[in-house]
Amino acid sequence: MGATPGAMRRRAADSPHYRDGEFRAHEPAHIVATSEAEGPGNLIATMVREFGRGKPKGTVPLVPPRHPDEPADLAVTWYGHATSVVELDGRRFLLDPVFGDRVSPSAFVGPKRMHPVPGTIAEIPRLDAVVISHDHYDHLDEPSIRQLERAHRPHYVVPIGVELHLESWGVPAERITSLDWREETEVGGIRLTCTEARHFSGRGLVRNQTLWAAWSLHGPRHSVFFGGDSGPTHRYTDIGADLGPFDLTIIPIGAYSVHWPDIHLNPQEAVEAHLEVNRGATDSVMLPIHWATFNLATHWWSEPIRWARRVAAERGVRLVAPVVGARIQLSGNDIDDVVAAHQDPWWEACSGPSDRD
């Protein structure tokens, strides 16, 4: 489970974003919609009606990750869900490492991985830092942290309070940097800025005692935006004005529902978020994440990527759709050629007949 609620409350108390006993964003984020049309009763009916839609009908294809010994100026490898390895101006960062079989406090119940992990933590070359967006089980996995400690003993950059989970699992405090929204740190010449997201936190019955965040990573030559988890928010416009544009955005597109519109982007909103953090520029590349790996909603398994690709084409956004495990090198290559190389609709072979446009 991680840190105790009491320890988290004591750590959170100094933040200006901690009010009335919990962290609060500038926009409310209802975990379940409160309107009559989208309320809990209708949520149960939806879950019964749409049960099983979120699973692939066949085997999800994978490719083994191929990491160079020395990181490139700009590259990304998607391991599934939100877990990604970013190479930025000669540094390497691991985002939201979840290599476990379930995203749950139990090894026996809870959302189970729908495809194997394409590679192991030990196979990743030297890491400059691990960056974590928040403490939900599908973004912060205790067994993965313990594997990282055995294989890498890396530095961690996290939102306020998440460091207490890491410390409870044996990570020394001197290897953790925790930040509030709008605070920043530097790792190997890369500036990491903690930015506001519209979401929530918690690994048990107590919520919002640790902060949740998106992240901006700026090197001398390139920049990356990592969205973590978020619903639609006007903060994307602020991030674009203060920190954008970005060469690459890594933005969640899955696990959305009309029953929880505040906490997860749908694919159309994700493309809009990409444009907002880039101040409308269309020369950035968007990597859609947070789909294909865990069944966390009631939409069809491949619906997020098909919807996102359709909207991206309409809006002129360069969207890549790599096979799980594929490495996309953007630096040193023609961007249009790279994007074109990652357009094969590999998901169609493992999608059911009702799971198509």
Question: pLDDT below 50 — which residues of the chain?
Answer: 36
Which residues, at least 6 apart from 282, have a Cβ–Cβ distance to it below 8 Å?
275, 315, 316, 317, 318
The one-letter amino acid code at 159 reads P
Residue 30 buriedness (CB in 10 A; 0-12 / 13-18 / 19+)? middle
Cα 13–Cα 17–Cα 22 angle in degrees, nearest 5: 60
Do 215 and 223 touch, CB atoms closer than 8 A? no
Quick one: pLDDT at residue 94?
99
**What pLDDT was estimated at residue 357?**
55
Q: Are 198 and 233 in contact (CB under 8 A)?
A: yes
β-sheet bridge partners, residue 289:
252
Distance of alpha carbon 115 from alpha carbon 313, whole angstroms = 28
d(CA 160, CA 248): 25
Burial 159-170 (b: 16+ CB within 10 A, else e): bbbbbbbbbeee
- The model's pTM is 0.95
Helices marked H in 279-356: 303-315, 335-341
How far apart CA 181 and CA 93 sit, in angstroms, is 20
Residue 312 in contact with residue 286, Cβ under 8 Å? yes
CA–CA separation, 50 and 29 (whole Å): 24
Q: Which domains, and CATH codes, for the chain?
A: 5-355 (3.60.15.10)
3-state SS, residue 53: coil
Left, alpha or beta for 284 (phi > 0: left; psi -120 to 50: alpha)?
beta
* CB-count burial class (<10 Å; 0-12, 13-18, 19+) for 40: exposed
Q: What is the DSSP letter of 102?
A: B
Element (H, E) at 91: strand 91-95
Q: Give the length of the chain.
A: 357
- The amino acid sitting at 121 is I
- In angstroms, the CA 216 to CA 304 distance is 24
Supply the pLDDT for residue 200.
96
* Helix (H/G/I), strand (E/B), else coil: 231: coil
Return the pLDDT at 36: 46
